[in-house]
Amino acid sequence: MKYCNHCKKEYSDDHNFCEVCGKKLVEKTESQSKGNICPNCGKENQTTARFCESCGTSLQASSKAKEKKETSKVLTAYYKHKKLYNTLLAGLVVLLIVSVGLYKYGEHYYSKEQQIERYQKILAKNDPEELAETVVSSDKNFKPKADNLSTFTNYTKDNKYYSNYLSENLQNINDKSQDLYLKKDGKYFFLFDKYDLVLQPFYLDVNTNVENMQLKVNDKDEGTSDNEDYTWKLGPLVPGAYQLDGRFQSNGQEEEIEQNVEQVNRENLENDGSRELSFAAKKVKFDVDSDISSGELLFNGQSVGTIKDGKLEGAGFIWNEDGNLQIKQELGDLELLSTPLDFDGDEYLEKDYSQDQSIFQPESFHIVPDTNATSGDFYINDKKAETFDKEDDIYSIDVVPTQKPYKVQLKQSFEDEEINSDTETVEPTDYVDSTAYVTLDVEEEIDEFDIESRLDDLYFDVSDYTDEDFDFEDEETKSLAGYFSGGTDNEEFIDFKDNFIGPSRKSDKKDYVVCYLQEVEDVTRTGENSYDVQYVVNYDTYYDDDTDHNNQYFRYKKANLVVEDENIRIKDLGGADNFEEVAASDYE
């Protein structure tokens, strides 16, 4: 079938031109044969026509009907396979939900915070095997294994501060100033950031000027030097504590150089991660003149001499530049280890030894206490250090310098109680002149002057009471009892009244006795409100006749006075064993 595009007339296949317009005919396609059929007259129209060419009827309704028919076909197909479609749709929804859930879980599990927390838990276990499965190395020459990580885990186990410090600093990504740090390295499932726990090893270059020195590191043999300019290159090593021991023969004796090295926090390392240690041997000899009265002089932890009365003669040992000279001081119950002393062995070589010139004076720290107490014990860091018994002693407590603060306190210990001053904390690094003045006052002691005044009053009244010209009735008896603890029941009061005042007043020969406090010789606090007092009293007896007065001096060696209601009272005069006559010539 052929078709004229101009006038739309159809022809049989044997026609080539339109009989109406003369246009060349074309083959009619299937889509053209279906055309745009008018629903009113059935006329076939162009597919783009909006109205029928024959009757003018709108062709849009036909188009919508056609579309509706096509939609109906789709719906029919859907309902025919509805169960299958719904199953597929539900599967897609479930898959979407599971995917979102897995993503959210992965987002949490692989978050930076969660990865850090897991690493922190592993560090806290101090397990070299588990750490070996977790950590990576920044050094291609070091492969983490349980046996080479044990030094590190032993150190973190014994040094919680260091372990906690490492854990806290994992928050800082790529912080290569730390022994351990986090490094961002790729993705998990192409979605989540991956962080590696990186361990940074180090190297030791150990130098010696001794031929045939055998070196051991943590009891592992590292070989023997074969010349006098020899270097052991050790590593890679993990952070931690290392004991280095170099042994050699010198003058027919075995000598040893030891160093304990704590290599942590990348301290003392060069940019290439190496650290140099000197095991060069130098023999030193010197004398010590120190404010530290007693202690042990240590080099690298080994005793090289004992300081007595601040002196040590002929201290000698093999010295090396990286070694530490320290003093271990024992002061009472207190034991202190000094910081490394400022010591240059080149100034004290054995070959240059001279008793006049080779004198080492180690630094010390001076604590100068000021207290209102007359006796007590000085405590430093809760350990009894020194005892004193005089208020007016001016001296200092000499201790070795340390990096840690000194906590200083005065304690007075009595039979049934203890009186303490406030604790003063002294930071040695805060004092340029190495001297700290501390106030260690205890609860107020009564002043010696107050004791003198009270005894003066007592013996002045007793003088009057021995004279019959003065009354000694109930009022006076009550006044006298006020000088004694327990009042009229006190045995010392009764003795004064019945055996001294009474007989003096009734005597036909004695006129009166002048009683005078000569001096207070000693006051010792024996309790919060109790004091032992040693004092001398002058008893000068006058007679009614021409007998010369009798001037005598007596010492009360251990009178016990107490403070009651803010008044000083005599509790006990010590009995006959603590009462003695003193030569008058000592005071006249």
Identify the CATH number of the domain defined by range 202-278.
Answer: 2.60.40
The enclosing H or E element of 66 equals helix 60-80
Examine the pLDDT at 31 and tell me if it is beyond 50. no
> In terms of Cα–Cα distance, which of 229, 189, 224 is closest to 209?
229
Which parts of 320-422 are beta strand (E)? 325-331, 334-337, 359-360, 365-370, 376-380, 383-388, 397-399, 406-413, 418-420
Output the pLDDT for position 69: 57
CATH fold label, 448-586: Nuclear Transport Factor 2; Chain: A, (3.10.450)
CA atoms of 28 and 31, how far apart (whole Å): 8
Three-class DSSP category at 332: coil
> In terms of Cα–Cα distance, which of 297, 281, 299 is closest to 289?
297
CB 540 within 8 A of CB 575: no
Three-class DSSP category at 152: helix
Examine the pLDDT at 70 and tell me if it is beyond 70. no
Largest CA distance in the chain: 193
- Lowest-pLDDT range of 132-141, 374-383, 481-490: 374-383
pTM: 0.47
What type of residue sits at position 499?
Answer: N
Tens of pLDDT, residue by residue over 369-416, are: 988 887 889 999 999 999 887 655 557 899 999 988 999 999 988 877
What type of residue sits at position 516?
Answer: Y
Phi, psi of 427 (to 5 degrees): -95, 110
Examine the pLDDT at 527 and tell me if it is beyond 90. no
The structure tokens 């010349």 sit at 227
Binned at pLDDT 50, 70 and 90, residue 19 comes out as confident
10 Å CB burial of residue 62 (0-12, 13-18, 19+) is: middle
Q: Which DSSP string do the residues of 453-522 spell out, in sequence order?
A: HHHHHHHHHHHHHTSTTS--SHHHHHHHHTTBTTGGG-HHHHHHIIIIIHHHHH-SSEEEEEEEEEEEEE
CB 555 within 8 A of CB 433: no
Q: What is the DSSP letter of 238?
A: -
